[in-house]
Structure 1
Amino acid sequence: MKVVQLLPDLDGGGVERGTLEVAEELVKRGHESIVISAGGRMVKQLEAEGSRHVTWDLGTKSFWTFRHVWALRRWLKQEKPDILHVRSRLPAWIAWFAWKGMNPNERPRLVTTVHGLYSVSKYSGVMCKGERVIAVSKTVEAYIRNNYPETDMGNVRLVYRGIDPQEFPLGYQPSEEWLEKWRSDFPQLEGKKVITLAGRLTRLKGHNDLIDMIKVLVAQGMPVHALIVGGEDAKRKAYAEELYSRVNDEGLSEHITFTGARSDIRDIYSVSDLVLSLSTKPESFGRTVAEAIGQGVPVVGYDHGGVGEILTALYPLGKTPLNDADQLVKTVSEVLESGVRPHGNPEFLKTTMLDKTLAVYGELVNDFTE
């Protein structure tokens, strides 16, 4: 098979990581893999793993971007891929118009992946126009069914995102060197129950709910310390400043630490007593939840969206209702006191995601052989 994946750029993120994983698997199985994007820091890895990268900016939000429709159509006629797999809305529109104008007997088969719970609109509806539509969770499946009734649900395939257990192994322990530096950098964690919330500083991640919770736990005399792990969002600096000020004003500086962006999240999970997922908007999947549970670290999260699905399957003890501050404190206290840890992640696996994605391609390509 010859497969083309299309997305805005390769600068990092969950969609980009999934694209590279599929590309690598295609090459391993003897297929030809091409990725079209505006480029980015992951291109080097993509090419090193055997795929071809075509630099094409199809993700800039401008009507001028639509000039690429005819060039893309010409390129597809020339390259003759078997599958065109689109993962983002604006590139999907370019691809859709290019694909629609081709001879149905000569064009590639069209696959789209609905990676997020986009704002409901005709613009977002393009992600449901594939001959096969991949939904990354049951939450996304329901989103498609409820908001785009014209979609033939017989063409929708549930393919959960997957975690690599070698990357987030059960019972993982960091090196002595890392632990030594960690203790030196964060001596305030000594003797405390460490509660970690990972994610960039954006309002939807529920940082204020964490602050409310820590305030109550500290007042109750529980020896806790919260880590907020994530960098500032360049467009939301005012929100970050608001959080810093609030922690200071509430007298919680000794109980809450902002670590900034970190690349050692696996190590941080391993020294955490509890990981939190408090996104106030339902997430399409919830990668941090699956990662932490995969390592056997307890997770407490709001029981909605993809996070609720993962917790239901792997660690139901950690489910807590959205916007119920009292129950959040109660759930966190019970999990910390119980000492009950998850048994890992046997369900949301990278290998399963890859097998199922390639099976979707196989449905559309008659002469498909693995």
Structure 2
Amino acid sequence: MTKAPTILQVVPWLDSGGVERGTVDIAAAITRAGGKALVAAEPGRLVGELEAVGGKLLPLKGRSKNPLSILLSNARTIERMIREQGVDLVHARSRAPAWSAMIAAHRAGVPFVTTYHGAYSQKGRLKAFYNSVMAKGDIVIANSHYTARLVKERNPDAESRIVTIHRGVDMEQFDINTVASERIEALRRQWGVDDRPVLILPSRLTRWKGQSFIIPVMGALKKAVGPTFQLLLIGDEQGRESYVAELDRLIAEHDVTDCVSRVGHCKDMPAAYALATMVIVPSQDAETFGRSAAESLAMGKPTLVGDLGAQPEVVAAPPDVPEGQWIAEVIRHDDAEGWQQAIASTLAMPEEQIKAIAPFARGLIEACFSLRSMGQQTLAVYDQLLGCDLSSHEG
């Protein structure tokens, strides 16, 4: 291919979350390399960021999963986008729009790539079939080794087409040395944070992310050591009013109204990590990557994660860290006592130890989970299918 390629990514809604953030990140990599980056999705919070990196949004009813007519209608819409915009490759990142994108790509005769972002429930044959579209790409990108194993188990025929590309952290954005104190103080005032150690749980408010699991743990910790800490639940409600009401009830029931707060969506996560004493990610279901843990370690923060999915591979200590000095720990996801003990021991960790190990943590993320690495590897997938050289221009 002699001309710079046009890549169309397809997601349901360009609002917030790891899938959406990764979409914008890859759009930026495409444009830096000289390509044209398009995204088909419903408009959301990240449209401005997409446009700022040189990408363009093409409106699509991306969040409609039913009925079948919507999928077929979207297929026609995406096919029209491909032909009108001169799209060379379609990259789908979510199941419902992926079915439409696959049909459109096949009709238009362009390569079709998928990224397998989620563990996806396989309850019943119909659900398994619905999920299978994410393994039907000419190349299937898995966002962790855990995900790659999962895809192979469920779709043995896809094994030769699977490529593992870990999610990427923006090392410039998530650098504690570049976060101005004014940004940290602004969050401190906004959230009413005092001088006690600050724990943050940065995840959208949904049961499997573990907020309802960790609140009783905080209650037990308070009984053991007093109200000597504060936990901030950072994340969108996303319309889950009954779950939010449950969280508020749990906070009251476990007498932690002075220790646990819901603070909603945060636009400045680097400042939130900088404010934190430690980061906890107590997911009760498998994470297929573990973006929060990676960002936390890039910021040099002690990090506790559950034992499910890909999070253990993200926080595994590099070989050059002295025995017993690593600032990340994996806890059995449903072991409430284990979480309480781990939080207490991490809060007691000497500040000198954290400062000494923080560069090793950042080095791990830089080497294995950086945005630059993700961008180069993804562009190499496009190069393989299109015969272009985008990846040589990235970075």
> TM-score if structure 1 supplies the norm length?
0.89
Pair 225,8 (structure 1): closer, same or farther in 2 beyond 3 Å? closer
**CA-to-aligned-CA distance 1:95-137 (integer Å, 9 cap, x gap):** 22233345xxxx2111111111112210110010011000011
The 10-residue stretch of structure 1 (33-42 or 325-334) with the greater mean CA deviation from structure 2: 33-42
| Change over 3 Å in CA distance of 1:181–1:100 after alignment to 2 | closer
Task: Output one character per residue of 1:265-306: Cα deviation in whole Å (capped at 9) or x when no partner.
Answer: 322221221110011011111111111111111011112212
1:168 touches 1:291 (CA, 8 Å); kept in 2? yes
**Aligned residue number for residue 193 of structure 1:** 197
Contact 1:86 1:92 in 2 (8 A): yes
Give the equivalent residue in structure 2 for 1:18: 22
- Separation in structure 2 between the aligned mates of residue 87 and residue 181 of structure 1, nearest angstrom: 32
Which deviations, in whole Å up to 9, do the C-alpha atoms of 1:64-84 show, x marking residues without a partner? Answer: 211343454455345443321
Matched, 1:233 2:244: no
- 1:123 is matched with 130
Contact 1:174–1:270 (CA under 8 A) maintained in structure 2: no
Alignment of 1:92-103 (within 5 A): 92-102=98-108
Q: Residue 38 of structure 1 contacts residue 56 of structure 1 at CA under 8 Å; is this kept in 2?
A: yes
The counterpart of 2:49, out of the listed 45, 48, 54, is: 45
How many residue pairs get aligned? The number is 362
Q: Which moved more, 1:332-341 or 1:270-279?
A: 332-341
Q: Secondary structure at the match of 1:233?
A: coil
Residue 336 of structure 1 pairs with residue 350 of structure 2: no
How much does 1:23 deviate?
Answer: 1.5
Matches for 1:30-69 after TM superposition, within 5 Å:
30-61=34-65, 62-65=67-70, 66-69=72-75
1:1-370 equivalence runs, <5 A: 1-61=5-65, 62-65=67-70, 66-73=72-79, 75-77=81-83, 79-102=85-108, 107-120=109-122, 121-151=128-158, 153-171=159-177, 173-176=179-182, 178-179=184-185, 182=188, 186=192, 189-190=194-195, 192-221=196-225, 223-234=228-239, 236-313=240-317, 317-339=328-350, 340-341=353-354, 342=358, 343-344=361-362, 345-346=365-366, 347-368=368-389, 370=392
2:155 and 2:250 mapped to 1: Cα distance?
41
Give the SS at the match of 2:13. coil
TM-score normalised per structure 2: 0.84
Distance 1:8 1:138, change over 3 A: same
Structure 1 residues 137 and 198, CA gap change in structure 2 (3 angstroms): same
Q: 2: CA distance between counterparts of 1:260 and 1:71?
A: 35
Checking the alignment, whether the CA contact within 8 Å between 2:14 and 2:47 is kept in structure 1 is yes
Report % sequence identity: 28
Alpha-carbon spacing, 1:359–1:210, altered in 2? closer, same or farther (3 Å)? same
1:180 Cα deviation (Å)? 6.8
Residue 176 of structure 2 contacts residue 270 of structure 2 at CA under 8 Å; is this kept in 1?
Answer: no
SS across alignment from 2:310: helix
C-alpha spacing 1:248/1:217, structure 2 compared with 1 (3 Å): same
In structure 2, relative to structure 1, the CA distance for the partners of 1:257 and 1:7 (3 Å cut) is closer
Q: For the structure 1 residues 72 and 288, does the alpha-carbon distance in structure 2 shift closer, same or farther, using more than 3 Å as the test?
A: closer
Residue type matched to 1:116 in 2?
Answer: G
Q: Aligned pair in 2 of structure 1 residues 329, 17: CA closer, same or farther (>3 Å)?
A: same
Confirm or deny: 8 A CA contact 2:191 2:263 kept in the other structure.
no
Give the AA of the match of 1:359.
Answer: A
Tell me how far apart the structure 1 counterparts of residues 254 and 272 of structure 2 sit (CA, whole Å): 25
Letter in 2 for 1:351: R
Moved more, 346-355 or 301-310: 301-310
Change (3 A) 1:117 1:316: farther
Give the stretch that moved more between structures: 118-127 or 74-83.
74-83
What letter is aligned with 1:109?
P
CA–CA separation in structure 1 for the residues paired with 2:230 and 2:389: 53
Deviation at residue 226 of structure 1 after TM alignment:
1.8
Q: Is the 8 A contact 2:199 2:229 kept in 1?
A: yes
**Change in CA separation of 1:304 and 1:185 when aligned onto 2, cut-off 3 Å:** closer
1:19-40 deviation digits (Å, cap 9, x = unpaired): 1221222122112222222333
Letter of the structure 2 residue corresponding to residue 111 of structure 1: V
RMSD of aligned alpha carbons? 2.4
Kindly provide the amino acid, as one letter, of the partner of residue 326 in structure 1: E
Instruction: Render the CA deviation track for 1:200-223: whole Å, top value 9, x for unaligned.
Output: 322112123322222222222262
Residue by residue, what CA displacement relative to the aligned partner does 1:238-281 show, whole Å, maximum 9, x if unpaired?
22222212222322222222223332332222122111001101
**Shift in alpha-carbon separation, 1:71–1:10, aligned structure 2, 3 A:** closer
